[in-house]
A and B are shown apart, each in its own frame.
Chain A
Amino acid sequence: MPVIEIEGLTKQYRRRRAVTHAVAGLNLSVPDGGVYGFLGPNGSGKTTTIRCLLGLARPTSGRISVLGAEVGRDLSTVISRIGSIVETPALFPAFSGRRNLELLGAIDGIGPRAVAAALERVGLESRGEDRVRTYSLGMRQRLGLAAALLKDPELLILDEPVNGLDPGGIREFRELIRSLGAEGRTVFVSSHLLSEVQLMCDRVAILARGALITEGSVAEVLALGHTAGLVVRVSKPDRAVEILAQAGIAASHDGEIVRVQLGADEAARVTEVLASGGLFLSELRADEVDLETVFVELTEGRTVEGS
């Protein structure tokens, strides 16, 4: 059974006369276990979707179930199995990190021992007694994750959890999230840091303008990228494109680089055509596709236009 199931979710915000379609007919099904990446450019509706998932915002239409519970109706029956961070985690600035966690834990009858364990897991044990006001953004982010982990949840819903972390912190977080997924938990993590998603997720969904563009395992989504071609470096790239075109080979240039839309098995033919036209290659390699490229291609022109 999917852990998260979203059917036909729409969410409109009405402000004065303007209506924003933050989410527009989203369907999504997140399987049990592992790390699920929820990708999309700024304003594509990730946070809004997560707010709807957690019952913070009321969907305009659509159905959402989380851990088998209908969100609008009986989210409270499963909330003790869900840990979450929405945007920048908000805690009481005048209280220490530990007191914040203790107050939250007390709602669910979670004691100080679990609080200490959660602080340790995110590497905040030495700053637990300090007021949250004195924390850096990254430390707040960690404290937010500690709060999410406090319930020992089956499902973690994390909205951009690496925001504000330094590279070392990002690496640590990635490892932590991967290990949480490997423990059999489901981690639903939104991000626009594509390289991160590629490194830590098992599956990804890509969102643009409130609707799903594609969904699948990381490998499947990567395969949607432009057909892997060849990258050629020559001294006169524009001339190279001409020569290739005369030979019936589609190519384009991008600075010094010429992209040839042929598989790696045709490298010899490209070399031959260019050489016969008097151009000699300084480099020839297969064009790599990463999630970033796929992402940009898929969401191109679909970022939210200025409102």
Chain B
Amino acid sequence: MIGLVRVEWRRLTARRLVRVCAIAAIALIFFVVVLTALNSQKIQSDGSFVMRTTSLWLTEAQAETSGNAQDNAVIAVTSLSFLIVAVIGASAIGAEYRAGTVTTVLGWEPRRVRLLAARLIAVALVAASFYLIVHVVFCAAWTIGSVVSGNPDGASGVFWRDLGLVLARGAVLAAVFAVISAAIATLGRNTAAALGVWVGYWILVEGIVLGLKPQWVRWTLFVNIASVLEWNHLMIESPSVTIAVSPGASVVRLTAYVAVFVAVSLAVFHRRDVT
């Protein structure tokens, strides 16, 4: 099993899509960080912009005690990363169906549950690694920028520990996105179908359904993702109701969602003829 995961890891990391995404993301990060640093003043005078180390991620409480604005630059990079790992996850499986290599690989490992499980594990690992690499690069670049032409004050031990925990949770959530995406691609035997399902979900459920039934928000994906990432009780307010989403409950829900997607994709892949 570990051998299979290793082979899948090798295959995924050798893929051009994964490499191009990683390089493009890092290039984009450097571009944005350099631009931010160039626009930054050392000291805030008359509302001019200051690049702060603590803008990477500040909890509400920290922002209050330090008197800074609660700025979370990591959020933008994280959202972008989730989008990318969803594509990587879908295409990890979709590309196999497109090339027809499922047949070939089953000629080496006919235990399908094992094979797909190894694939999903590899997808999870690649997504988490991708997330971590991109964020470590981003945080390092941002910190250097703020030291050189901004304000590094307030980046205490607690701040770094919290940031570390955010990135750790973010990496796990990236794996969640990628695995769900890969599971959908397994069901649809196609990358585009999986991405279509995501877009459809976004528009239909997160958009239209939540507009009609705001009380269902605690069951939807993105709120639970946000709650776990921020590790915070979220209060979702709509005209009719206010719904609290706690991180603990979100962990349970997300785990259940992943379990369902994985179980269904394993069951279907196990039974279905490969033609």
Chain A residues packing against B (C-beta within 8 Å): 51, 54-58, 75-76, 79, 82-84, 86-95, 99, 103-104, 106-109, 147-148
Contacts and interface: CB of A to CB of B under 8 A. Distances in A.
B102 to A, nearest CB: 8
Contacts of B11: 92, 103
Nearest to B118: A107
Contact of A79 (B16, B95, B104, B110): B110
Interface string B104-118: 111111110000000
B134 interface: no
12 contacts: A54-B110, A56-B103, A56-B273, A57-B274, A79-B108, A82-B107, A90-B104, A91-B99, A91-B104, A103-B10, A106-B3, A107-B109
Contacts of A109: 3
B213 interface: no
A147 B106 CA distance: 13
A92 B110 contact: no
Given A57-B273, A58-B271, A107 B99 contact: no
A107 B2 CA distance: 10
Given A75-B110, A106-B7, 15 more contacts: A51-B273, A51-B274, A54-B106, A57-B275, A58-B273, A79-B110, A90-B100, A90-B101, A90-B103, A92-B99, A95-B14, A99-B14, A106-B3, A106-B6, A107-B4
Interface string B229-241: 0000000000000
B10 A104 contact: no
Contacts, number: 71
3 closest residue pairs by CB, A with B: A90-B100, A57-B273, A107-B108
A243 B250 CA distance: 96
A107 B10 CA distance: 11
Contacts of B100: 88, 90
Interface string B1-22: 0011011001100111000000
Nearest to A148: B107
Given A56-B274, A91-B101, A92-B99, A103 B107 contact: no
Nearest to A147: B104
B104 A54 contact: no
Interface in B1-48: 3-4, 6-7, 10-11, 14-16
The binding surface of chain A is classed by DSSP as loop
A56 B106 contact: yes
Contacts of A51: 273-275
B208 to A, nearest CB: 31
Contacts of B271: 58
Contacts of A148: 107
A80 B11 CA distance: 21
A51 B103 CA distance: 9
Nearest to A157: B107
B273 A104 contact: no
Contacts of B274: 51, 56-57
A88 B103 CA distance: 10
Most A-side CB within 10 Å, residue of B4, B7, B108: B108
Contacts of B107: 54, 79, 82-84, 86, 148
A93 B99 contact: yes
Contacts of A95: 14
Interface in B63-109: 95, 99-101, 103-109
A269 to B, nearest CB: 57
A93 B275 CA distance: 19
Nearest to B112: A55
Nearest to A88: B100
A214 B54 CA distance: 80
Contacts of B99: 90-93
Which of A83, A91, A107 gathers the greatest number of chain B CB atoms within 10 Å? A107
Interface string B249-275: 000000000000000000000010111
Contact of A107 (B7, B15, B101): B7
Contacts of A58: 271, 273
B58 to A, nearest CB: 42
Contacts of A89: 104
Nearest to B106: A56
Contacts of A104: 104-105, 108
Contacts of B110: 54-55, 75-76, 79
